[in-house]
Amino acid sequence: DAGVIQSPRHEVTEMGQEVTLRCKPISGHDYLFWYRQTMMRGLELLIYFNNNVPIDDSGMPEDRFSAKMPNASFSTLKIQPSEPRDSAVYFCASSGTGRETQYFGPGTRLLVL
């Protein structure tokens, strides 16, 4: 099993640009989570999906952030426009129904200049 795959691994962009982060969950998993990790706020859940449907997006910081899951094997997290305070490591994780463990991807390190 390839595990959770995220791309890109690193992203450097300028303020105001659109950023798209991508995630491929583990095959067969029907829950997908997006997290953000910063020194100041630690690990925060942004949004999660079940069977491709967004269930809870209460952690999404503002309207500049959006997430989609068009099919069971792909999800995107988009920031438009990006701001320096969005600089963080963004993790995607997936889990299967009835299985307690979330499996994390390697993360995308985002730097907004």
Partner 1 sequence: AQSVTQLGSHVSVSEGALVLLRCNYSSSVPPYLFWYVQYPNQGLQLLLKYTSAATLVKGINGFEAEFKKSETSFHLTKPSAHMSDAAEYFCAVRYNAGGTSYGKLTFGQGTILTVHP
Query: Residues in the site for partner 1, rule: CB under 8 A?
Result: 4, 31, 33, 42-43, 45, 48, 50, 55-56, 58, 91, 93, 95, 100-107, 109
- Using the minimum distance from each CB to partner 1, give the nearer residue, 81 or 89: 89
Minimum distance between the CB of residue 17 and partner 1, rounded to whole angstroms? 24
CB of residue 16 vs partner 1: minimum separation in angstroms? 27
Task: Name the residue nearer to partner 1 (CB basis): 48 or 65.
Answer: 48
Between 82 and 108, CB nearer to partner 1:
108
Cβ distance to partner 1 smaller for residue 15 or 52: 52
Quick one: residue 111, left, alpha or beta (phi over 0 = left, psi -120 to 50 = alpha)? beta
Contact present, 96 and 28 (Cβ < 8 Å) = yes
